[in-house]
């Protein structure tokens, strides 16, 4: 039982990060009908900025929470700026062009990965824990830091979910992703919505990067692993579907968590892949897809 709760909580934390990540992918696909492989690089940028800045700032004598907050702000600003650059000088010209945009995003992946390697170097960075101590959750010990990150990720996911459901921009985004022509007929400025959707997605990837940096070893290629999981999550849930991305991410995280504990991590990755194949056989458009 103790194991069960512990694994569930860890899976929930990882799952929440996957949700933030795959929501970005599904938003971009929904609104612009493109697949952005470079989404992982936005996430990497944010994670690596936190991993580089935090030890530097604490080295200057800043207190850890302040240093974390400062590096998080820088990381978010950088990811959104990167998103803006990619949209403005690339994807803007390739909306609704699946193959062209896909190839362009691969170009961005290689370019950014090379630049990160040049700038940050290839070493693995891990941050010392910000918050020490453990707490008991239903009798299962859990590091406080992990619990805080878990709560933070869930809170961000909920905020986003309600923002998409209730706010004007959220409604416009969802309208454009269901049928962009009908949305334009209703007076929704598609071009602006596409940019907003892309920037929100970059912001989400940035948040996911910040939340993952304290708990895992950060390298310049960390984005690729999450990209794979994020894509599997959106295939399972259905491209362009927000609830689908959430369900798919939790699916992947829990299979990984429990499979990794009872079998081994790579066995869990293969199990996740088999699950995707099964979903594709039964429902070719994902569990909640309509594209």
| Residues at the site binding another protein, with contacts judged by CB under 8 A | 29, 35, 90, 93, 98-100, 102-104, 106-115, 117-118, 224, 228, 231-232, 234-235, 239, 264, 266-267, 269-270, 273, 276-277, 280-281, 284-286, 291
Closer of 171 and 285 to another protein (Cβ): 285
**Shortest reach from residue 194's CB to another protein, in Å:** 17
DSSP classification of residue 142: E
Closer of 68 and 226 to another protein (Cβ): 226
Structure tokens at 240: 């362009």
**Shortest reach from residue 99's CB to another protein, in Å:** 6
Query: For residue 29, which phi and psi values (nearest 5 degrees)?
Result: -65, -45
Closer of 29 and 156 to another protein (Cβ): 29
What's the CA dihedral at 182, 201, 232, 167 to 10 degrees?
-50
Closer of 156 and 231 to another protein (Cβ): 231
Contact in structure between 91 and 107 (CB atoms under 8 Å):
no
Closer of 98 and 182 to another protein (Cβ): 98
Q: Burial-class residue 136 by CB neighbours within 10 Å (0-12, 13-18, 19+).
A: exposed
Closer of 148 and 271 to another protein (Cβ): 271
**Shortest reach from residue 283's CB to another protein, in Å:** 10
Length reported for the chain: 291
Phi-psi sector, 42: left (phi>0), alpha (psi -120 to 50), beta: alpha
Helix or strand (DSSP H, E) at 108? helix 98-120
**Shortest reach from residue 102's CB to another protein, in Å:** 7
What's the N-to-C CA distance of the chain in angstroms? 41
Alpha carbon 31 to its chain's center: 17
Q: Say how far apart CA 100 and CA 85 lie, in whole Å.
A: 18
Contact in structure between 204 and 21 (CB atoms under 8 Å):
yes
**Shortest reach from residue 279's CB to another protein, in Å:** 10
**Shortest reach from residue 110's CB to another protein, in Å:** 3
Q: Say how far apart CA 225 and CA 39 lie, in whole Å.
A: 12
Closer of 150 and 272 to another protein (Cβ): 272
Q: Say how far apart CA 43 and CA 133 lie, in whole Å.
A: 28
**Shortest reach from residue 269's CB to another protein, in Å:** 5
Closer of 16 and 109 to another protein (Cβ): 109
């Amino acid at each position: 039982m103790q194991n069960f709760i512990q694994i569930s909580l860890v899976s929930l934390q990882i799952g929440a990060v996957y949700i933030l990540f795959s929501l970005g992918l599904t938003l971009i696909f929904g609104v612009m009908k493109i697949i952005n492989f470079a989404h992982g690089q936005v996430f990497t940028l944010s994670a690596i900025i936190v991993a580089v800045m935090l030890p530097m700032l604490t080295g200057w004598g800043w207190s850890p929470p302040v240093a974390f907050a400062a590096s998080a702000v820088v990381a978010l600003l950088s990811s959104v700026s990167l998103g803006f650059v990619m949209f403005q000088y690339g994807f803007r010209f390739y909306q609704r062009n699946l193959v062209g945009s896909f190839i362009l995003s691969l170009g961005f992946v290689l370019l950014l990965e090379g630049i990160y390697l040049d700038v940050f170097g290839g070493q693995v960075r891990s941050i010392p824990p910000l918050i020490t101590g453990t707490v008991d959750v239903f009798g299962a010990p859990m590091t406080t830091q992990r619990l805080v990150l878990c709560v933070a990720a869930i809170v961000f996911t909920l905020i986003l979910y309600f923002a998409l459901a209730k706010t004007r921009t959220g409604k416009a985004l969802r309208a454009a992703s269901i049928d962009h022509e009908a949305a334009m007929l209703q007076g929704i400025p598609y071009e602006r919505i596409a940019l907003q959707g892309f920037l929100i997605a970059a912001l989400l990837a940035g948040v996911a990067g910040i939340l993952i940096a304290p708990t895992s070893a950060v390298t310049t290629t960390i984005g690729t692993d999450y990209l794979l999981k994020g894509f599997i999550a959106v295939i399972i849930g259905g491209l362009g579907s927000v609830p689908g991305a959430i369900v798919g991410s939790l699916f992947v995280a829990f299979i990984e968590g429990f499979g990794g504990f009872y079998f081994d991590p790579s066995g869990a990755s293969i199990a996740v892949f088999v699950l995707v194949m099964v979903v594709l056989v039964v429902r070719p458009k994902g569990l909640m897809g309509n594209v």
